[in-house]
Amino acid sequence: MNPTLVMLLAGGAGSRLNILGAHRAKPAVPFGGIYRIIDFTMSNAMNSGLNTVGVLTQYKPLSLMEHMGTGAPWDLIGRTRGVNILPPRTGNKNSDWYKGTADAVRQNIDFIESNSPKRIIILSGDHIYKMDYEALIAFHEQKKADLTIGMMTVPWEDTRSFGIAITGDDGRVVDWEEKPEKPRNNLASMGIYVFDTDYLLDALRTQPKHDFGHNIIPAAIKNDRVFAYPFTGYWRDVGTIKAYWEANMDLLNPDSGLNLDAWALRTKVQEEGRLGDRPPGFIASGATAKNCKLSPGCYIEGHIENSILSPGVIVRKNAVVRDSVVMHNCHINAGARIDHCILDKNVCIGNDAELGVGAGDTPNQENPDHLWNGLTLVGKSAFVPPRCMVGKNSIVHPAAGAADFKTKQIAPGTTVRKSVEKN
């Protein structure tokens, strides 16, 4: 019998990440220079001794599947260990897509039964954190729980984004509020669940609805033993542009609690132009790099401050990059200025262009709930023309080019889209 089977929910669309999630699943979004978001959950599983993982995919899974590969980066390859990609079942009816978190697991009951686990741990692939799942499982066993939920205290203003538990003195969950407008507590679900297998399978078969937070958990609280496992370490849901940028900036703050070296984080280094074959990062004479994370293959002639640069980034003379996240193979030409920006892969910034200018109090006109805090977002393979000024809270869509910039002055809150070419 397999003691614990991991079911990793990794099918999220990441719509609040806007163009960062337009062509990839949220767990596949790059993070921290050389990693992807899903690396955190996968490394937690590896470091906790969990060796069989089912990855439930759905939305644009290709880059995620390529990244996961055989599971070798996380030592999950062998006769008694492995990673299994579990897409939605197809061929019966148009309702085959996963309808919710519980339905995603329900559609893979045969995978669960084929592994005969004693218990199941359900994880999300889109959070930044380090947790010892062995301690969580030991807590579950000690409490003789049917369901244990990983939970942490969050600021009261954030409670409307989470499932909230009301607990007794012994940690037992006595009531549940899913994303409440007026919460009674601020103990929030981390989307981490441990179930005894028989209990979960019975719940999935008898509960016709589709979501853990809205359906499975409230029903379990009424009838069975549900406990909250308290977590106090670093944890961040990076489902918004603001949270994603802030988590990257936490890497540069030694007091943030986010320490990738101490966390034994692993990733697939064979992708992105064979990271292991790239030369060390190079900082030319006269260039500066202050409080930055530079990846292999970076070539710096300009000035970098408080920024994260992925492999292959080139910053030419007199260019300035400040408080920004710059992904793989971006080219920032001479004299350009990048301030509070997120640049997706293969972006080219023309000579003397400036991004992140003006006041930051004008939200993006098309997506004010996505971009309102002064960041500027540039999509994959976009080109910002020379001497162009792009205001804060602006979005430049993937593959947009010089012809798509109708003016050199892009006002704050503007969206620049790729034009549809006519035949």
Q: Are 18 and 370 in contact (CB under 8 A)?
A: yes
Instruction: Catalogue the E-assigned strands of 50-155.
Output: 52-56, 82-86, 117-124, 127-129, 147-153
Q: State yes or no: pLDDT of 270 exceeds 90.
A: no
Which residue ranges make up each domain of the chain? 2-250, 271-416
Q: Are 292 and 277 in contact (CB under 8 A)?
A: no
Neighbours of 97 (CB within 10 A): 15
Length of the chain: 423
Q: State yes or no: pLDDT of 337 exceeds 50.
A: yes
The token pair that represents 236 in the structure block: 């961040």
pLDDT at 275: 56
Q: What is each CA distance from 167 to 142, 181, 328, in whole angstroms? A: 17, 19, 45
Q: What is the rounded CA–CA span in Å between residue 92 and residue 286?
A: 64
pLDDT at 12: 73
In 3D space, the residue among 88, 106, 154 whose CA is nearest the CA of residue 127 turns out to be 154
**SS3 state of residue 365:** coil
pLDDT at 269: 79
pLDDT at 91: 46
Residue 102 phi, psi dihedral angles, 5° rounding: -70, -35
The token pair that represents 308 in the structure block: 């994260």
State the Rg of the chain over Cα. Answer: 23
pLDDT at 15: 82
Q: What is the rounded CA–CA span in Å between residue 351 and residue 341?
A: 17
pLDDT at 21: 87
**SS3 state of residue 232:** coil
Q: What is the pLDDT of residues 166-193, one digit of tens each?
A: 999 999 999 999 889 899 999 999 999 9
Place of tokens 């549900």: 226
In 3D space, the residue among 55, 32, 29, 26 whose CA is nearest the CA of residue 42 turns out to be 55
pLDDT at 310: 96
Classify domain 271-416 at the CATH topology level. Answer: UDP N-Acetylglucosamine Acyltransferase; domain 1 (2.160.10)
Q: State yes or no: pLDDT of 13 exceeds 80.
A: no
CATH class (in words) of the domain with range 2-250? alpha beta
Q: What is the rounded CA–CA span in Å between residue 132 and residue 69?
A: 24
Q: Are 184 and 238 in contact (CB under 8 A)?
A: no
Q: Do domains 2-250 and 271-416 have the same CATH topology?
A: no
